[in-house]
Amino acid sequence: MELIFLGTGAGVPSKGRNVTAIALTMLNERNSIWLFDCGEATQHQILRSSIRLSKLEKIFITHLHGDHIFGLPGLLSSRSFQGGDTELTVYGPAGIASYIRTSLAVSGTHLKYPLEIVEIDGEVVFEDAAFKVVCRELDHGILSYGYRIEEADKAGSLDAGALSALGVKPGPIFKELKEGKTVVLENGEVVDGSQFIGPAKKGRIIAIFGDTRATGNELVIADQADVIVHEATFGAEMGDMAGEYMHSTTLEAANLAKKANAKRLIITHISSRYSREDNRELVSECQTIFPNTEIATDFAIFEL
């Protein structure tokens, strides 16, 4: 799994940062890509990345401000032109269906793939055997969500060495033992597969936040996360302005990560007032509270 940042700026595009879009690639896990937000020109950013629109399975929109949704109509259309034919689902706050359908209708755009639009009406957004996505409302003046992606725990590894020492040869029998079954060997010996399976591997937890001021709901999304992706629109010195515009500072993002007992923090959604040379200072501010902090730049890739 990887996080690929396609846009990391706040509000408007700048020369150094496009507006928000984050791809979560899960090619090994489910042969697909999920996108979180889709600001203006996201499809242009994708052209400069390894992402294939045909692999795009789901899009999660945090809120309906333009810097998070203005790229949607073009991206949905381009996916059709580029041969995407599998179903795509868009999740988002109330109003996202009207926005998408109106944009496609007035432009005469006809998609060649099934498009499902789900307006969030509960805490569980999506769930299958491998992943669960839950959300909580944030504090941004407009309905804005944080998403928590929980990967299911994976079965432990089979101790092939110990089995070989017993004379068990690799083959179909290993599959049965891996499933925890009890098998009888040719010599009559009974082997309990559950005794040769290591501890389960805990699934990863990723917390991706929309725009917000500090709010208690954030802890529910961030608790024990392997990685938190959080806006840090303003530096520490801009606390009053951050509160007024309902955004977060570097210190607020870092405090959340610390309180949540998270493992890693990636800050993004950086105001255009900050240049690339300011990145080090923004990260340093976070690291005074939460040392394992990084800052996202456009096209940065973080392995999870």
The pair phi, psi for residue 259, each rounded to 5°, is -65, -35
Catalytic (active site) residue 278: no
According to the annotation, is 269 in a ligand binding site? yes
CA 180/CA 13 separation, integer angstroms: 53
Please tell me the distance from the alpha carbon of residue 154 to that of residue 294, in angstroms, as a whole number: 28
- The rounded distance, in Å, linking the Cα atoms of 59 and 191 is 46
Cα–Cα dist 53/201, whole Å: 31
Is 110 labelled as part of a ligand binding site?
no
Angle at 81 between CA 94 and CA 128, to 5 degrees: 50
In the set 37, 67, 128, 223, the catalytic residue is 67
Cα(106)–Cα(86) distance, integer angstroms: 24
Does residue 140 have a known ligand-binding role? Answer: yes
Look at residues 274, 292, 124, 162 and name the one whose alpha carbon lies nearest to residue 174: 162
Cα distance between residue 136 and residue 2, in whole Å: 23
First CA to last CA across the chain, in angstroms?
5
- Per the CB < 8 A criterion, the answer to whether 300 and 49 are in contact is no
Extract the annotated binding site for Zn(2+).
Answer: 63, 65, 67-68, 140, 211, 269
Q: Which residues are catalytic?
A: 67
